């Protein structure tokens, strides 16, 4: 069967429910992974998805901050969460999809504004999260596995609008990229987006609200990622960045990314 999975930092699911519904109707993902939902589980707007056929949920939320969710038209099995950095923040939810595909939805800390773990606790936590992700990845077996989400690092020079100007800006600093690369290599992950878009080509998924004309300025970064493991690589058939969603009314500063798998 063909399986379409989308990931999107929606920046408040209740505030942007209309956009989520429009996206679901337009791109027809079988599974929609959201980050930064900003709502407790009991108040998640399930009804806004159920009438579109999304009747399976794995939700891990908290009031006003963070939060992740897997919303699916296909059954979810073995759903759960994992705690990172000894924190109660809701940043991870997982479930098993048809075909035995293990799906992980992550929202890694942004890290604040100062790229110094000795003076900035938020940045220190971000680096710790990546170290724990590396350790976790090394222990994983060969089952088909998909990791998606807002990972808050743009690792390649072409993942940012200006490599030189952003080297000291959180999300593209050398220490973050180093941590990202180690976590990425720990399980032999494949960068699904770069399987279709060559590494030398610019690729963004986030544009700041600060730019009056985000299209014209095009000062983007690739903060949202889809990783697949070697077992799942032969099943990868398509990746798409839904950039035009950024131009819809009341948008998130992130756009959805989609992957198609023949599972």
| pLDDT higher than threshold 90 for residue 212 | no
> From the CB of residue 243, how many other CB atoms can be counted at a distance below 10 Å?
15
Q: Looking at residues 222-249, what average pLDDT do you find?
A: 98
Q: How far apart are CA 127 and CA 104, in angstroms?
A: 19
% of the chain with per-residue pLDDT over 90:
98
Structure token digits, residue 200: 């030398």
What is the crossing angle of helices 174-186 and 121-138, to 10°? Answer: 20
**Which pLDDT band holds residue 158 (cuts at 50, 70, 90)?**
very high
pLDDT at 220: 98
pLDDT classification of 235: cutoffs 50, 70, 90: very high
Count of beta carbons in the 10 Å neighbourhood of residue 26: 12
**DSSP 8-state class, residue 166:** H
Question: What is the SS3 assignment for 12?
Answer: coil
- Please give the Cα distance from 68 to 62 (Å, whole number): 9
pLDDT 10s digits, 1-49: 889 999 999 999 999 999 999 999 999 999 999 999 999 999 999 999 9
User: pLDDT averaged over the chain?
Assistant: 97
Q: Does the pTM of the predicted model rise above 0.85?
A: yes
| pLDDT per position as a tens digit, 128-148 | 999 999 999 999 999 999 999
Residue among 146, 202, 206, 172 at smallest CA distance from 10: 206
Q: Quickly list DSSP for 67-100.
A: -EEEEESS--EEEE----TT-----EEEEEETTT
pLDDT tens by residue, 60-91 = 999 999 999 999 999 999 999 999 999 999 99
Torsion of Cα atoms, 150 then 11 then 103 then 76, to 10°: 180
Pairing of strands 101-107, 145-150: parallel
- Between the two ends of the chain, the Cα-to-Cα distance in Å is 5
CA dist 244 and 198 (Å) reads 21
Cα 257 to Cα 243: distance, rounded to the nearest angstrom = 9
Question: What would the mean pLDDT of 87-112 be, rounded to a whole number?
Answer: 97
> Structural domains in the chain?
2-262 (3.60.10.10)
């Amino acid at each position: 069967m063909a399986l379409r999975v989308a990931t999107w930092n929606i920046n408040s699911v209740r505030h942007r429910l209309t956009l989520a519904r429009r996206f679901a109707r337009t791109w027809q993902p079988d599974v929609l992974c959201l980050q930064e939902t900003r709502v407790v589980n009991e108040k998640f707007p399930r009804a806004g998805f159920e009438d579109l056929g999304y009747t399976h949920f794995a939700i891990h939320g908290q009031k006003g901050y963070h939060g992740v969710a897997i919303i699916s038209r296909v059954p979810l099995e073995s759903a759960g969460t994992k705690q990172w950095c000894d924190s109660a923040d809701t940043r991870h939810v997982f479930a098993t999809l048809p075909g035995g595909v293990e799906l992980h939805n992550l929202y890694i800390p942004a890290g604040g504004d100062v790229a110094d773990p000795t003076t900035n606790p938020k940045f220190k936590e971000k680096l710790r999260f990546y170290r724990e992700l590396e350790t976790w990845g090394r222990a994983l077996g060969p089952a088909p596995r998909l990791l998606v989400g807002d990972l808050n690092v743009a690792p390649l020079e072409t993942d940012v609008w200006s490599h030189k100007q952003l080297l000291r800006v959180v999300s593209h600093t050398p220490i973050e990229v180093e941590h990202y690369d180690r976590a990425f290599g720990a399980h032999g992950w494949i960068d699904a987006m770069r399987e279709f878009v060559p590494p030398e080509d610019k690729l963004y998924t986030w544009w700041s609200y600060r730019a009056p004309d985000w299209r014209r300025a095009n000062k983007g970064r690739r903060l949202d990622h889809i990783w697949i493991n070697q077992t799942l690589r032969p099943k990868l058939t398509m990746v798409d960045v839904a950039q035009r969603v950024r131009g819809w009314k009341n948008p998130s500063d992130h756009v959805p990314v989609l992957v198609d798998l023949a599972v």
